[in-house]
Amino acid sequence: MVPPSLTLDQFLCTHKPASSADAWSLRHLFASIGLAGKRLAQDLRRAGLLNILGTTGETNVQGEAVKKLDQIANDTFVESFQQSKVVCALGSEEMEKPLLMPEHWPNGPYVVLIDPLDGSSNTDVNMPLGSIFSIMTCRRKDQPPSGDDLVRKGTEQIAAGYLCYGPSTMLVLTIGQGVVGFTLEPETGDYLLSHKSIRIPTRGKVYAANEGNYLKWTSGMKQYIDRLKVRDKTAGRPYSGRYSGCMVADIHRLLLNGGVYLYPGEIDKPEGKLRLLYEANPLAMVVEQAGGAASTGTMRIMDVEAKMLHQRVPLIIGSVEDVQEAEACIQGRA
């Protein structure tokens, strides 16, 4: 039997957000994220038995082939947010334009950005996947939401987190008061508090990066990765390489055990691959709230000026000392 533990809803009843967000509507919002996660986890568990693997034949706004599960994940979150009535604007990796729901405003004050299914290349091979969410409130109280309400700095987030679909489904979140983790209890369908206060070690022994891109990297980035492989007992090197193809899973590992995840800018693509608003910002908030750091290589992720919905950004995230060392190499200071 699973020992008694707080459910997600009980946790939100007893823990107030750091922002002035209304606790009641925030509970509703998290209930809708939890519900979407449960539905998606159910689909993922049966994916090989249902006709939902492979691509839809369409291409998304990023120019990538849309997987059937990308579409299912997006529809699942959209439906759940619409039912919740507390979300008035939604931005998603899978939608070129924002979905505005002024009918939910002003009682539904939340502006949400999502990557509904992170690690899409893992869908067909039974590997871990994730969903990422960033939460803000509508900028103005006297005006219904507009697309601009979604395009804001990471420091304006009031909550953020991710779902990780692995051997178990986990919901990891911050409401600005540290980081907690819930594990989905498959029998009862409750998210139970399993990780009460997640703190990332100041230094790790693991790095996660797609080394197939080595020749595209800047000399500073190459120098950093080369250094991690050099034997040095006192510095705890060489590091181990661990890259799953799912950033949520890789960052979940280092949030618990320490280390660094890097998707840097490249010589011919200095903006990198990852998206600022629904990938880098929410993960940066989680990692910072756990005592870690998130950088572009030259500045704090959450201070990056947001200019457009699908903006890309280089990302170096994880244990503080590891991120600082990577920054020093990238900036040519090491």
Positions touching ligand FDP (CB under 6 A) are 118-121, 210, 245-247, 273-274
Query: Do β-strands 87-92 and 110-118 pair in parallel, antiparallel, or remain unpaired?
Result: parallel
CA 174 to chain centroid, in Å, comes to 11
- Percent helix, strand and coil across the chain, each to the nearest 5: 35, 25, 40
Residue closer to ligand FDP (CB basis): 138 or 309 = 309
First to last CA, the chain: 53
Could you tell me which residues are beta bridge partners of residue 136?
111
What whole-number distance in Å separates Cα of residue 176 and Cα of residue 18? 5
E strands of the chain, at which residues?
A: 55-59, 65-67, 87-92, 99-100, 110-118, 129-137, 159-165, 169-174, 180-184, 191-195, 206-208, 240-241, 260-263, 293-295, 315-318
Backbone angles phi, psi at 210, to 5 degrees: -85, 95
Distance, in Å, from the CA atom of 10 to the CA atom of 223, rounded to the nearest integer, reads 48
Distance CA 36, CA 21 (A): 22
Tell me which residue has tokens 């309400």: 149
